[in-house]
Structure 1
Amino acid sequence: MKKDEIAIVDDEPINLMILKKLLSPSFLIRAYKSGAELLDSVKKGIQPDLILMDIIMPGMDGYETLSELRKDPDNQGIPVIYITALDSLIDEEKGFYLGAVDYITKPFRPGIVLARVNAHLELKHARDRLKNQNEWLEAEVKRRMVENQLIQDTTLNVFAELVETRDNDTANHVMRTQNYVRIIAERLQKHKRFENHLNAEVIERIVKAAPLHDIGKIGIPDAILLKPGKLNNEEYEVMKNHCKIGGNAIRLAINKTLSGNQAENKMGEVTALSFLEEAEKIMNYHHERWDGKGYPEELYGDEIPLSARIMALADVFDALTTVRPYKKAWRVDAVVDYILEQKGLQFDPDVVEAFEAEVGSFIQVMSQGQPRE
C-alpha cells in the first residue's frame, strides 16, 4: 500500500529532524528549509498529501507560502497544519483564515502531532473519494444525456422515414424547412423583442421539433394526400385536420409518459419531453395566420406560439418554391415579394423582417438541399 506523502517546511534543521524521525515510519517525508523550496517543488508536480509548516521563516513566511500555494486550484485540497512558536489567538485566527486546517504550538507533543496528521489525512482521503464519486456521477449524467439525445434524434428520424413512405416530397420538405426555421430563429435572437426568450437552448428545441410539423399527414387518406390535382373544399377540410391529428398524437404520448413517471414529475418538469411540447405547438398552429384568419383555432397575433409563427413562414416559402403535383414552382423573387406583402397579414411582421434579412441564406439552403449546420 502506497504511503501518504508529507511535506515538512521549517528553517530549523533540528525541527526537521525531529518531525522526520517521528513521521517517517508511517509516511513518505520530504523536508524543505523554506516556503520557496516547497513552492518550487509543487510547481514541478511533486504534490504532497499534507503539509506541516512553520510560520516564522526568513524570506517567505508560512502565511505568504500558504497564500501562494492556494492560488493554484490544484493545491486547494492539500491540508496544511501550522507547527509554530506563535501562540496568540490572532496568529491562529490568521492561519485559519488563509486556509490552514490545524494549528499546533511548539513545543509540540509527538502523540498530538501524529493524531492530528492521521485525522486530517483521513479527512482528505474522504474528500478525495467524494470528489471521485461526484466526477463519476457527472460523467454518468453526461453519458445518459447523450444517450437520451440519441434516442430523441432517432425518434425524429423514424418519424421522418414514416412521412417519406407516404410522400417523398414531404420528406425533402422536412429537411429544408428545418433549416429555414433555424435561420429565422437565429436572426430573431438578435431582435430586442426576443433576446430574452430565444436563447440557444430554446432555438435548438424549436429546430429539433420542426421536422414533426407535418407528421399528422400520416392520418390523411392517400386519395387526398397524394392527389395530383388541386383539392376540392371537402378534401381541403380533411387535409386541415393534419394539424390536430399530429398535435393530439404528441399530447397523448406526452401524457402517457408523464403519468407513467409520477416520481420524476414531483421532482420537476421532465425536460426530455420539452422538445415534444414545442413540437405540439408547431403541429397545432403552423397554419394559423397573424391576422387571425388561419386554422385550426383562428388564433391572432401573439396568441400563436412563436415557434409556430416561424414554422408558418418556412413552410410557405418551401411550398411555393418547390414543384407539387398540382402546381409549378414559383420564382424565388416572386415568393419573396409575396411573403413581404403578407407582413402583418399571414405572417408575424418580425418574422418577415428576419426572413428578409436572410433571403440569401434561404437561397443557399434551396440550392444545396442539405441541412444547415
Structure 2
Amino acid sequence: MPKTNDQTILIVDDAPENLTVLSELLQPRYRVRAATSGEKALRIAGTDPRPDLILLDVMMPEMDGHEVFSRLRADPLTRAIPVIFITAMDSTEAELSGLEMGAVDYIAKPIVPPIVLARVHTQMELKQARDRLSDQNAWLEAEIQRRMSENLLVQNVSIHALARLAETRDPETGNHLHRTQGYVRTLALRLRNHPRFSAYLDDHIVDSMAKSAPLHDIGKVGIPDHILQKPGKLTPEEWVIMKTHAKLGSEALEQAERDAEKPVKFLTLAKEIAHWHHEYWNGSGYPDGLAGDAIPVSARLMTIADVFDALISRRVYKPPIPFPEAREIIAKGRGSQFDPDMVDNFLAGFGDFVAIARRYSDNASP
C-alpha cells in the first residue's frame, strides 16, 4: 500500500498504549493525529488539517465515543468526517448500535492489524471518491450558474436591443425604457402585500414584468415615420394607425413565443404589456376595450408607468410637466384610467418614482 501523506487520521482513545499501537500501524501510510479525550478530539477535528477519517474508541471516561460522535455530527465543520468505532464490546448489538448512529464501520478490540489496515484503506478510498464527486458537483453547479448568468445577460441585452430598435424610430424618449422599467418594478414590489395581488406577484413574476417592460412599445417599429414623429396633433385617421402599434407589438412577441422550444414566461408578460398597456380601467382604452380586472396586472402596471413618464418627459408635441402636476393627473385617473389600488400605492410611494425619474433623467425632466 503506497504512502499517502496528504490523508489524515485522528485516533481517539483514552489509553496511551492503544494510541501507540494504532499510530505505529498507520503512520507509514497516513498522517496521524491523536487525542486521549473526547474534548481534545473535538478540538482537533475542528481545526486544519481536518481528519479524513476518525478512529473513535467507544468506552472513554467523561465523554464516551457516542457523545463525541453526536457532537461531531452536530457541527457543520465535522459532520461529513467518516468515523469508525473501536471498542472492546464484541457483540452484535454494540456493532448495530454504532452503525445505526451513522458510523461507517466498527472494529473490535483487540485489533487485528491487517483487518484495521484493510478497513481504513477502504474508508479512505471511499472518502476520496466522495470528495472527488463533491468537487465535481461544485464545479458543475458553478458552471451551470455561469452559463445561466451568461444566458440571462444575452437575454437582457437582446430585450434592450429590440426595445432600442423601436426607440430609434422615436428618438426623443431617451431613458424612457430604464425609467418605465424602474416604475413597474417599484410599483409591483409595493403591491406584493396587497390582498388583491399578493398571490400573483411573487419574485419571479415581478422580475419577469420588469424584464418585459422595455418591450411595451416594440410595435412602434411598424408605424410610419410621418405619423410616429409628427410634431403636431394626429388626425383621426393617423390616430387609428398609431393605435395599431399595440397589436403589432403583441403579434411580433406572440410569433417569438411560438418559435420558442418551450414557454418563456417573460415573453407571455411582454405580450400582455405590449397589447393592453393602453387599456383603461373603465373600458374606454384600446385596442380591445377591456375593463377592470380583465386587463392583465402587468398591463395595468405598465399603464401607470407609461403615462407618468410621458407626462414628465419632453415630447415633440409638448414640454415636460412638473412632478406635482403629473401626480395630480395620475390621481385624477384613479378608477377611470387606472386601477384604483395601484394608484393608491403609486401615490403613497411617489417619492420613489420621482427618484427613478431623476436617476434616469434626459436632462429635460422637471
TM-score in same-fold range (> 0.5)? yes
Equivalent position SS for 1:108: coil
* 1:85 aligned residue: 88
Q: What is the Cα deviation at residue 90 of structure 1?
A: 4.1
For residues 22-37 of structure 1, what are the structure 2 equivalents within 5 Å?
22-37=25-40
* 1:49 aligned residue: 52
Question: Is 2:318 the counterpart of 1:327?
Answer: yes
Q: Could you say if the C-alpha distance between residues 99 and 321 of structure 1 is closer, same or farther in structure 2, counting changes exceeding 3 Å?
A: same
Q: Do the aligned residues in 1 keep the contact of 2:163 with 2:217 (CA within 8 Å)?
A: no
Q: Do the aligned residues in 1 keep the contact of 2:279 with 2:285 (CA within 8 Å)?
A: yes
Question: Is 2:131 the counterpart of 1:140?
Answer: no
* 1:301 aligned residue: 292
For 2:186 and 2:62, the matched residues in 1 are separated by 62
Equivalent position SS for 2:77: helix
Candidates 107, 110, 132, aligned match of 1:107: 110
Q: What is the Cα deviation at residue 126 of structure 1?
A: 1.4
* 2:168 aligned residue: 165
Q: Could you say if the C-alpha distance between residues 239 and 62 of structure 1 is closer, same or farther in structure 2, counting changes exceeding 3 Å?
A: same
* 1:289 aligned residue: 280
After the TM superposition, list the runs of 4 or more consecutive aligned residues in structure 1 that deviate by more than 6 angstroms: none
Q: What is the Cα deviation at residue 224 of structure 1?
A: 0.5
Equivalent position SS for 1:30: strand
Q: What is the Cα deviation at residue 89 of structure 1?
A: 4.1
For 1:362 and 1:307, the matched residues in 2 are separated by 17
Q: Could you say if the C-alpha distance between residues 5 and 362 of structure 1 is closer, same or farther in structure 2, counting changes exceeding 3 Å?
A: closer
Q: What is the Cα deviation at residue 329 of structure 1?
A: 3.7
For 1:356 and 1:138, the matched residues in 2 are separated by 43
Equivalent position SS for 1:103: strand
* 1:262 aligned residue: none
Q: Write the deviation string for residues 59-113 of structure 1: whole angstroms up to 9, x where unpaired.
A: 2211111122222212122111111012344433432343311112223322322
Identity %: 49
Q: Write the deviation string for residues 229-283 of structure 1: whole angstroms up to 9, x where unpaired.
A: 111111111111111111111121222132xxxxxx4xxx5xxx32222211110
Question: Is 2:364 the counterpart of 1:364?
Answer: no
For 2:19 and 2:311, the matched residues in 1 are separated by 86
Q: In structure 2, give the amino acid aligned to 1:347.
A: F
Equivalent position SS for 1:75: coil
Q: Do the aligned residues in 2 keep the contact of 1:77 with 1:124 (CA within 8 Å)?
A: no
Q: What is the Cα deviation at residue 29 of structure 1?
A: 2.2
Q: Do the aligned residues in 1 keep the contact of 2:4 with 2:29 (CA within 8 Å)?
A: no
RMSD: 2.1
For residues 113-124 of structure 1, what are the structure 2 equivalents within 5 Å?
113-124=116-127
Q: What is the Cα deviation at residue 226 of structure 1?
A: 0.5
* 1:310 aligned residue: 301
Question: Is 2:206 the counterpart of 1:203?
Answer: yes
Candidates 239, 245, 253, aligned match of 2:242: 239
Q: What number of residue pairs does the alignment pair up? A: 359
Between 1:199-208 and 1:241-250, the stretch displaced more is: 199-208
* 1:346 aligned residue: 337
For 2:20 and 2:358, the matched residues in 1 are separated by 80
* 1:9 aligned residue: 12
Q: Write the deviation string for residues 30-56 of structure 1: whole angstroms up to 9, x where unpaired.
A: 232222222222233231111112111
Q: Do the aligned residues in 2 keep the contact of 1:181 with 1:210 (CA within 8 Å)?
A: yes
For 2:357 and 2:30, the matched residues in 1 are separated by 71
Provide the TM-score with structure 2 as the length reference. 0.91
Equivalent position SS for 1:166: coil
Structure 2's unaligned 5+ residue stretches are: none
Between 1:67-76 and 1:359-368, the stretch displaced more is: 359-368
Question: Is 2:259 the counterpart of 1:256?
Answer: yes
Equivalent position SS for 1:335: helix
For residues 183-194 of structure 1, what are the structure 2 equivalents within 5 Å?
183-194=186-197
Equivalent position SS for 2:305: helix
Q: Could you say if the C-alpha distance between residues 62 and 222 of structure 1 is closer, same or farther in structure 2, counting changes exceeding 3 Å?
A: same
